[in-house]
Amino acid sequence: MDHFLYRDGVLHAEDVPLTEIARSVGTPAYVYSAATLLRHYSLFDEALAWGPHLVCYAVKAASNVAILKLLGDAGAGMDVVSEGEYRRARAAGVPGDRIVFSGVGKTETEMRHVLADGVRQINIESEPEMRLLSRVAASMGVEVPVTVRVNPDVDAKTHAKIATGRAEDKFGIPIAKARQVYAEIATLPGLRVVGIDVHIGSQLVDLDPFRQAYRKVADLTEALRADGHSIERLDLGGGLGIPYARSNLAPPVPMEYGEVIRDEVGHLGCEIEIEPGRLIAGNAGILMTQTIFVKEGEGRDFLIVDAAMNDLIRPAMYGAHHDIVPVREAAPGVEQQPYDIVGPVCESGDTFAKGRDMVPLSAGDLIAFRSAGAYGAVMSSEYNSRPLIPEVLVQGDQYAVIRPRPTFDEMISRDTIPEWLAPA
Ligand code: LLP
């Protein structure tokens, strides 16, 4: 469920007509609904209410500081994968003891920063990382709570680019090797084992791979406890999928996911951490764009819009589907026609949809890409020297620009010309 609904023939974000935002902010723009973000966070929180838990929002999904502030104030922890994300979470007022640091390639500088400023736990992904973290923590005179991310060799049955829990993926330590790695950690200064971490992939629409992975984590918990380690927390990752197409079968909901967690690991008495990103932010955001031209092609019409692959790369990168709807609702009974919906970037890959049935549209019409809140703005670039587009947060009848559209000068003046190229 989200809060983007038609009212009086116009798509609204909560109580604000998107036409009003288009007028004051321009297009293209990302628009988020605070109510949807909070609702999705609460669904996870309620799904784990049977025991101690912390829902650590995966900052990578949508990392605007206003979004982090909204979720952090509601009690969310944060899962971060870089110093930049960590600093964003801290800038949003989230205390270090609610921030989990994940990622395969943490640098020494990043380790030093989070250790100095406070961190709930670091999820170690490799033996070299374990040794470096031990040296860094010991040199700073601190003991850092750690988990090891294990790779359970489970096929998450999702897009290959976002599967992370198969043996061939670069993430984590093979689960078969985990006992050996925990044994080494126990000998290293600066590290204190608190639990186990696992994350098998993203946009999972079936609970079975979660179940398989969590069962392996439960077995490992018992084995590690028998070895004398203190396993008090389980970080079970993110990955629950969302409905991208209204017409599709709906994926499982957080409550069902929470039950799977309870079934598989509930008996262990551990505090549960999860790291959902997409399900919290995905359907809480849309990308609003405007038709520049309708161009008649050979056997097809192109809708050329002012958003492009640099603003939303998911269709080009993963062949992802986003529902695309007109901001002004069509009159009932208007016949649809197929369009190729494309952006202005000079690549054929800059195609959002091919042969998509839409009501007839004209230049100037506003349209919205749904489910664009996660992995939308955060993956954008300035390719073709298109300035990053603004982000807007709506809450009830209020809205605010939470990242302004840069001016062309701001974009260009970040570049500097070396003095040897300047005229004498
Ligand atoms: N935890 C870890 C360690 C992760 O690597 C990820 C996502 C998450 C949590 C959050 O997963 P979620 O709940 O959002 O599925 N750009 C891709 C998705 C990449 C996901 C990367 N890792 C896309 O647009 O589909």
Contact by Cβ (8 Å): 240, 251: yes
Name the residue with tokens 């819009």: 305
pLDDT tens, residue by residue, 105-136:
999 999 999 999 999 999 999 999 999 999 99
Please identify which of the residues 249, 346, 422, 424 carries the catalytic annotation.
346
Sign of the torsion formed by the C-alpha atoms of 105, 110, 116 and 120? negative
Radius of gyration of the chain (CA): 23
Q: Say how many Å lie between the CA of residue 199 and the centre of ligand 1.
A: 9
Any ligand 1 atom below 6 A from CB of 102: yes
Tell me the three state secondary structure of residue 130.
helix
CA 276 to ligand 1: nearest atom: 13
pLDDT tens, residue by residue, 372-421:
999 999 999 999 999 999 999 999 999 999 999 999 999 999 999 999 99
- In sequence order, which ranges of 227-322 are alpha helices (DSSP H)? 254-265, 278-281, 314-318
* Domain limits, the chain: 4-31+282-412, 103-274
| Choice from 157, 278, 283 to test ligand 1 binding pocket (greatest atom count within 8 A of CB) | 278
pTM: 0.97
Give CB contacts under 8 A, 24+ apart, made by 218-222.
218/264, 218/265, 218/267, 218/268, 220/150, 220/175, 220/178, 220/179, 220/196, 221/196, 221/265, 221/268, 221/270, 222/268
Phi, psi of 182 (to 5 degrees): -60, -35
- Rounded average pLDDT over 194-204: 97
CATH number assigned to the domain with residue range 103-274, chosen from the 4 options 3.40.390.10, 3.20.20.10, 3.30.70.20, 1.10.1040.10: 3.20.20.10
- The CA distance from 53 to 51, in Å, is 6
Any ligand 1 atom below 6 A from CB of 282: no
248 pLDDT higher than 90: no
28 pLDDT higher than 80: yes
Any ligand 1 atom below 6 A from CB of 202: yes
Any ligand 1 atom below 6 A from CB of 195: no
- The CA distance from 214 to 199, in Å, is 10
Q: Say how many Å lie between the CA of residue 328 and the centre of ligand 1.
A: 33
Binding annotation for substrate: 278, 314, 318, 347, 375
- In sequence order, which ranges of 190-252 are alpha helices (DSSP H)? 208-226
pLDDT tens, residue by residue, 318-371:
999 999 999 999 988 999 999 999 999 999 999 999 999 999 999 999 999 999
Contact by Cβ (8 Å): 373, 286: yes
Contact by Cβ (8 Å): 361, 409: no
Active-site residue, 346 included: yes
Any ligand 1 atom below 6 A from CB of 276: yes
- The strand pair at 301-305 and 351-358 is best described as unpaired
Contact by Cβ (8 Å): 340, 301: yes
Binding annotation: 239, 275-278, 314, 318, 347, 375
Q: Say how many Å lie between the CA of residue 200 and the centre of ligand 1.
A: 9
Q: Say how many Å lie between the CA of residue 61 and the centre of ligand 1.
A: 7
Q: Say how many Å lie between the CA of residue 201 and the centre of ligand 1.
A: 7
CA 81 to ligand 1: nearest atom: 3
CA 1 to chain centre: 18
Binding annotation for pyridoxal 5'-phosphate: 239, 275-278, 375
Listed in sequence order, the residues at least 6 apart from 349 whose beta carbon sits closer than 8 Å to its beta carbon are: 309, 316
Tell me the three state secondary structure of residue 291.
strand
- With cut-offs at 50, 70 and 90, classify the pLDDT of residue 305: very high
Q: What is the DSSP string of 142-173?
A: --EEEEEEEE------S-GGGB--STTSSSSE
**Which architecture, in CATH terms, is 4-31+282-412?**
Beta Barrel (2.40)
- With cut-offs at 50, 70 and 90, classify the pLDDT of residue 424: low
